[in-house]
A = this chain, B = another copy of it.
Amino acid sequence: MSGQAVTAELLAVVVAMVDGHPSVLTLGEPPRLPAGPLLPSHRSLQAATRTWVEEQTGRRLGYLEQLYTFADLDREGAGELRPISVSYLGLTTPGEEPGIGGWHDWYALLPWEDTRTDTSLLDALASHLWRWADSDTGFEVERRQRVGITFGLDGHAWQPDLVLQRYELLYESGLVPESPAESRRPAAELAPGDRMLGDHRRVLATGLARLRAKIGYRPVVFELLSPTFTLRQLQDCVEALAGRAVHTQNFRRLIEQQALVEETGEVDADTGGRPARRYRFRRQVLQERSVAGTKLPTTRSR
């Protein structure tokens, strides 16, 4: 039994902090993720991904982790051969601009995921979701449950890492159009967010979900920061990724008691207030013990 011949494609969600905004590397218009086929010369899928990103954007990747593989029939195929797509999440620092391609603020792509300060968009979406849930389908109860859980409403806590579930719910309820091909005008205005090519925005949502989950149990934030940083910068970074604010004092305590960082001795006077000490990540902790990442002290709740 020999299988169908297919082609394997690599898709990369490459994330960096650009001027304080978590951003994703995109190419062209409509924006698309760096991608490329698997070639005989590639040693492994991961190596292939590295190669393509480098070739298309001129950027070297540090951290790289596999996300998900899909090959649904309904994906827009590249002709004869069924494409099977392997997606990766990469972390880097913006470095010497510009390469090819550009950084796209991911909250421009998934605006409702930023709950740090303004939740008016979410509130607007919520009212539409409730209407969707209550429409006469025979699934009112299930739908209300689902809306409540995924969007942290109705007594449920907001869970930062349910990015994909939220995206899919918005999609199902017609608030987010997926492919540029189809266009449901009225809804499209409700859940703004820049579109991307094909289902790339869904892949991005997968990457964001993974990243948010991961910062909680592995110290990956530091891949996105410059070698030295203040605790405030670290916190801003975590908040930007998680999309929500955290309690400052408790955050620093967590960092310190885990001994994730060490002082450099320098201070940064650009704070607008008392100067802040600069720190660097203690890479050794990666060896010393399997560290527990940046736990989020829960926070000023909504």
User: B-contacting residues of A (Cβ < 8 Å)?
Assistant: 1-9, 36-40, 42-45, 66, 68-73, 78, 81-82, 84, 86, 142, 145-146, 149, 156, 159, 162, 287-290
Contact = CB atoms under 8 A, between A and B. Distances in A.
A74 to B, nearest CB: 9
B71 A44 contact: yes
A159 to B, nearest CB: 6
Nearest to A156: B289
Given A44-B71, A71-B44, A39 B4 contact: yes
Contacts of A36: 1, 3
Contacts of A40: 4, 82
Contacts of A2: 7, 37, 78
Contacts of A3: 7-9, 36-39, 81
A4 B37 contact: yes
Going nearest first, the 3 A-B pairs with the smallest beta carbon separation are A3-B37, A3-B7, A69-B69
Nearest to A155: B289
B78 A289 contact: no
A247 to B, nearest CB: 21
Nearest to A7: B3
Nearest to A44: B72
Q: Which of A3, A8, A162 has the most CB of B within 10 A?
A: A3
Nearest to A37: B3
Given A3-B39, A5-B6, A66-B69, 8 more contacts: A4-B37, A4-B40, A6-B7, A6-B38, A38-B71, A42-B73, A44-B72, A162-B290
